[in-house]
Chains A and B, each alone.
Chain A
Amino acid sequence: MAAITLKDIVKEYGDGYLAVKGVSLDIADGEFVILVGPSGCGKSTLLRMIVGLEDITSGDLSIGGKRVNDQAPRDRHLAMVFQNYALYPHLTVFENIAFPLRLQKGAFTEDQIREKVEFAAKTLELQDHLQRKPANLSGGQRQRVAMGRAIVREAQAFLFDEPLSNLDAKLRGQMRTEIARMQRRLGTTTVYVTHDQTEAMTLGDRVAVLRKGELQQVASPRGLYEQPVNLFVAGFIGSPPMNFLPGEVTEGVLRLPLVDVPLTDDLKQRLGDRKLVIVGLRPEHFEDASLTDDRRSKEGVTFGATVDVTEWLGSDLYAYVPFDTNPDVAGKLEELDRDLDGEGMRTQLVVALDSESRVRDGDDATLWFDPAKMMVFDPESGDNLTYDADAVKEIDQQNEQDRKASLERAQAREKAKAS
């Protein structure tokens, strides 16, 4: 178990393409860090540089305090689970899991190997499959064999490269909790790469968001959700994604397509002399005004809107409200949409209402939101003008405390079970 430190890691390919442009990241011992981002953002490349399958063009990589840039994968004592498992098809499950132990000639006796493999198999519930070959296993079982091979070695850290992307949705959910449980139990440093923001939010102690080889923000899931540092992070985290509206700054009022929002002094100061901004509002921050009690109603902003399409999901009601966008920001929003793998066919507001709401397709509804939850972004740089650094620090501190506490609890449970 060790801490992993990346300092200004750069990866340049032979043809001059910069896959990773100076990423610095500190991963504490026992921490579960997720690297997330759209395809082509460099997260897999970063992971492979950590494990040693790719050369680092410049920068320093340290594991457990030692610089390991030039070490071969076998000397770094890391364990990796590949996206397509990379199980040895000619070996049984038992031999697959025992493979890393057998490579260290003479380090273990046959009995020790059997003990370790059976322990790993028990952790992952593979005891009944030890004599079968990978070709006869289901996807989830193969996934667990790959994890077994990783945990049997007591490596310094675990590296996962999109391990759940080949599984169906239901299995994915089950395996997610398995991985979380396993990491808590073993307390090993873990680096996990995924493009799925749900996995990122639910599994990670901290999440690092990457875009085109650059680190956008690294914070706890809560920190990313409540205080995104720029447009990209705000749009990436959260499902359904954040709504972006063009905002015109006029005397004391922020003009949005469907409603005018009064500007507070703090907001006026942050906006400076900008005339045009992008305003972000999460779908879950809207409410059906008819269901909001009067007191709350007065604290927020109400507006009328024509609802185009609704989707009732049982727990929520999604309503789609089209609006006209300002051509000056249209280009910026389109580019953002492309980066977030969206199809962006029309400009519309997505609103998540209570499932009790009576709003239906074609209705003229009255909607409510709290302007304090609004985020304002600079249209050129994409920076979050309403970013509160202190709040982030507080969230991260709380997060760190929670993580340590839950690790201790997990260790205590293990000790109690063992004795």
Chain B
Amino acid sequence: MRQELHRFFRAARGAGVRVSPAESIDAMRAVKDVGFSDRGILRDALLLTLAKSEDEKQALGNCFDLFFSQPDVKDETASEDAAESGGAHPSPGETQTGGASAPSPELGELTQMLMARDRNAIAAALANAANAASLSDIRYFTQRGIFSTRILEALGIARLRDDLDALTASNPSEAERLTAATEALRENVRDTVNQALLLYGREEAENLRHEILRNAPLARLERRQVEQMKVLIRAIARRLRERHSKPRKRQRRGHLDTRRTLRRNAAWGGVPFLTSWKRRHRDRPKIVALCDVSGSVAQVSDFFLLLIHSLHEVVDDVRSFAFSGHLIEVSDILDNKSPEEAMSEIMSKVGFGSSDYGGSFADFEKGFMASVTAKTTVIVLGDARTNNLDPRADILRRISERSKRLVWLNPEGRMAWGWGDSEMPRYAAFCSVVRQCATAKQLERAVSDIVAAYQ
């Protein structure tokens, strides 16, 4: 049974539940105590010891249901558990006796089981064969065929074929039944392999997909990738929150807090046994984000806004503005609506025009310059392609002078800066940092750096 649990832990890791060795030891101890007899209690026990948040509980619960359900015994739910627990230590004697009632004793073991319709024995044999073929090593969907073949071989498909040939000659009706049963068996094997792939393959496949996704250019995502990217962005936001939400206390020795020291030492007649020191006050990030939502940059802005607005714990105050031809504030839309609704509303208001950086900066200066203070980081996200309109770099200079930092994130590669109608070099002079930001990875790094600058 230990083996079974170890496989379950691996499946759980694949499902996104972080299972540390210490936790797996706890789970083992817990399972030893509650036993395998009651499935509900077993499920509760594993959920209690392994999953450490509500999301993880959900994922682990699903994983548990998948793991302990067997695709092969379809209509006998009661015998599932029996077959599962019997699968690890099948006694050959039992399978023999199961087959003894079969009509023709000269047939092979597998044939006898199939003819006798002995579901439990078949399930046990299947589980055994799956172990023998080390099915839990399956990683990619391309391996399905080879594992199916291996399992069928371990089950004794060769002998079955011989029997089938012999039967076709001697007893055609029996042979027909056997052919049908064999088909069903193949199907069962396929199901078993698919389930194993779902359980054990997920980890690798997920890692691979994430790695590809992290490095994919945001501006040119396929439709189905957009959903996955949103999940990824949420994961990035969680990571950034974890990393930056706990402000580390850094005490600055040297400035005595007289008031607190006196109060603390009142018990000793004011003799300062214990000293209190003033703490340095640190600002939480204040961010003003200006996002170009025209044409090709729109999608990157989309993800950027999604990310920055899911950082509530880390960032005190975010004001977001979107522009293409002109500029509007979008903070309220983003805070009050679901990401999809918010994005479509922003797009309908300002999106998809040709961008006018100069005009938009002028809009910003006229309406919202007061939101930029000495504690603010201003982030501009855009490709700086001005369509040969006046770039108004002077406004950017004033913004830069008022703010703590001015960061420009450009989805285009460095090579393209300054070519055609790109005004990046002129703008870059007034920016504290200019960086390329085309993939999720670069986006994460950029935002992480911005937030870290406050700590």
Q: Do A and B actually bind?
A: no
- Using a CB–CB cutoff of 8 Å, the interface residues on chain A facing chain B are none
- Using a CB–CB cutoff of 8 Å, the interface residues on chain B facing chain A are none
